[in-house]
Structure 1
């Protein structure tokens, strides 16, 4: 029963991902008939989803691929030689109005119990190709402009050399040119420093992401292998142990992906406040229920504050993210058996709360960097984490016009204070 429920939930999640994906997703059988077309793919080609289902995929291709597509599939099935499957490449698509457009196509093979299907992910390259053409045009224009300016400068220099009475003007022009060069040099130096900073962030991101994904994936793989060994009824405890490890590893991966997605949306300015009115006590109970599963053995989470019938008007989802992130850190950086305290109250028309742990604490010399992206204190390097959580928390709090600060002593613990002004519906 539990497995069936889990499979149903997984299917629903997969269906939601496919439906809301911004790129087109099409699944075809080994004859090229379309079995699944998401909304993004249908819009990409100018069709309704119902117009495509059951039709051959070649209707979305211009020649010569239109006539040869079925041959591609049969050749692969017979020979196993991959020409595009598993290898992304740029192709041309054919819209309903017979206009062609560029797209990037990635195809993967999916082995089902009794047959094979192929999944294609399509990304429209129209805007990218237009931008590339515009860059080429601008570069050509720039080269022509540079050539023209160079010719003009050469003529001016010759004129200055042949006309002594214009010497003063020449000197003044040279001073202006030198000032421009100094200005350009300063701007180039700033651009170089910015590029170097971005490269450093990129390197840290790649290194951190590689580590954070490798560890849980290795755990999932090893636990899955061990599960195959425990087939006897009396080995149920061992099976449960490894399924728990797999769930924990998956939750770690989901946490990492959520951090990446939240940071990306924040950087792109796609997160807006959506305040609603809600009961604060019920909200706190809901948050505490959500974090119970994260507690280590012996850890106890104590909630302080009388909030019955207290209604607030805030972005509930964003506030919940702040609470859970701070609770997660308190649990993660505290030993088993330690207490974690949460104090919540309304003071001077502000929601004030603090979350206190009695864990490893933060080295004093590193506290100034705590809200920096990808920062991990040296005493937390062996504890899983992306270094993004507190940066996201701070930006969420600031989006709600609030403020956050902390106090920490190495080896004794850390307390975070958050103050968020309240407004009326």
Structure 2
């Protein structure tokens, strides 16, 4: 099980461009991604099992131990070093500024800390340039002010020049502020993503471990039913983890443009039947799916697998976020150009404040954080549908339900 967990973390670490490292409660490095190697100039083998101080400038070593112990007492994720500058030490001895997000977690009763490390050298250089620009402008203002005393005419000319220069300074400051705001938002999003996905993997892995341990206790013939139950648990959780990893691979292929769509003509009822059949196994107590009417004669010339993937995602979400005894409706309409699917539920709905971000990668609404999911599915199907000449939209009211509408062109371009 430990090797499987290491493989999972390696996939996660390499999925982000920032540096990711994990240390244990003894401050020894247990895992790093390739971005850390590039950032600090070390090979992975040179860092594993080394003290964290290998990456910290020597002048900060005396205080580092107390900072680390203080963090481990509280054990809550946060930004490191608020109110002060942080620096890292490369293998060649050079020192550079950085920002670090800390996230503690436990596996098998062992405590670890995951750090998201960002090299902010460029940003610090930009801040220095802004300060330099302000100093230069202040010098120019002082020089112009002395010249203004000569004549009223010169005063008017210089005022025009100062207005232009002040405008440039304001524009430069606004540009840097916007860049800093976006960088902070991105850092928070990726820290939240790593925490979310770590939880998504840890829960099923713990379930697999528990079932594996219990299987060894049921050795009698009459205990076969209990063995089957735990084997089913292991199988389901492995499928769940496999689906998450497939989502990550889909994201990578979409980003790199490696998707090759396969178009052919097929009956829509075939896809709908397959989607509903699979979804029935996920239904909660009393839930029901209303089959769409009059679809037997509807055909599409599209990538069948992508249509099935997209419809499954919308239907599975409706089941996941609806209560027991809820009814989920599927409607399908086709005109000369488009086929439109509507999946309607009366579930928890999406808070209005979160609706603008619902298709963003890794985003999850606040009222859905306790439900399993990575926030990738909707982003993937939106990208696929866009590539195939389609769209996905929604209407939602919190505590009342949601309607997701998928619209796809009838004949895709081969």
- SS of the equivalent of 2:372 reads coil
Taking a change above 3 Å as real, the CA distance of residues 244 and 106 of structure 1, as seen in their structure-2 partners, is farther
Structure 1 range deviating more: 341-350 or 405-414 = 405-414
User: Corresponding residue for 2:221?
Assistant: 233
How many residues align structurally? 312
SS at 2:198's partner residue? helix
Bigger Rg, structure 1 or 2 = 1
Q: Structure 1 residue 191: deviation in Å?
A: 0.8
Does the 8 A contact of 1:297 with 1:336 survive in 2? Answer: yes
1:386 deviates by 1.6
- How far off its partner does 1:222 sit? 1.4
Separation of aligned partners in 2, 1:385 and 1:322: 16
SS of residue in 1 equivalent to 2:291: strand
* Selected match of 1:179 from 160, 167, 182: 167
Q: Is the contact made by 2:393 and 2:404 (CA closer than 8 Å) also made in structure 1?
A: yes
Q: Within 2, Cα distance between the matches of 1:250 and 1:303?
A: 30
Q: Which TM-score applies when normalising by structure 1?
A: 0.56
CA shift for structure 1 position 224: 1.4
- Residues 1:212 and 2:200 aligned together: yes
Give the one of 366, 375, 380 matched to 2:364: 375
Q: Distance in 2 between matches of 1:301 and 1:106?
A: 54
Alignment of 1:250-329 (within 5 A): 250-266=238-254, 268=255, 270=257, 274=261, 276-280=263-267, 281-296=269-284, 299-308=287-296, 310-329=298-317
In the superposition, relative to structure 1, how do residues 286 and 197 fare at CA in structure 2: closer, same or farther (>3 Å)? same
Provide the residue aligned with 2:382 in structure 1: 394
1:201 corresponds to which residue? 189
In the alignment, is the contact (CA less than 8 A) between 1:371 and 1:394 conserved in 2?
no
Q: Aligned with 1:304: secondary structure? A: coil
* Alpha-carbon separation, structure 2, partners of 1:294 and 1:208: 22
- Matched residue of 2:308: which SS? helix
> Which SS does the other structure have where 2:365 is aligned?
coil
Structure 2 CA distance for partners of 1:236 and 1:423, relative to 1, 3 Å? same
Summarize the Cα distance change of 1:87–1:326 in structure 2 as closer, same or farther, 3 Å threshold. Answer: closer
1: CA distance, partners of 2:216 / 2:292: 46
- Could you tell me which runs of 5 or more consecutive residues in structure 1 were left unpaired when the two chains were aligned: 1-13, 15-84, 92-101, 108-135, 137-142
* Cα separation, 2, equivalents of 1:196 and 1:370: 17
Say which SS state the counterpart of residue 186 (structure 2) adopts: helix
Q: In the alignment, which of 337, 340, 345 is matched to residue 349 of structure 1?
A: 337
**1:418 aligns to what SS in structure 2?**
strand
Q: Partners of 1:292 and 1:174 in 2: how far apart?
A: 71
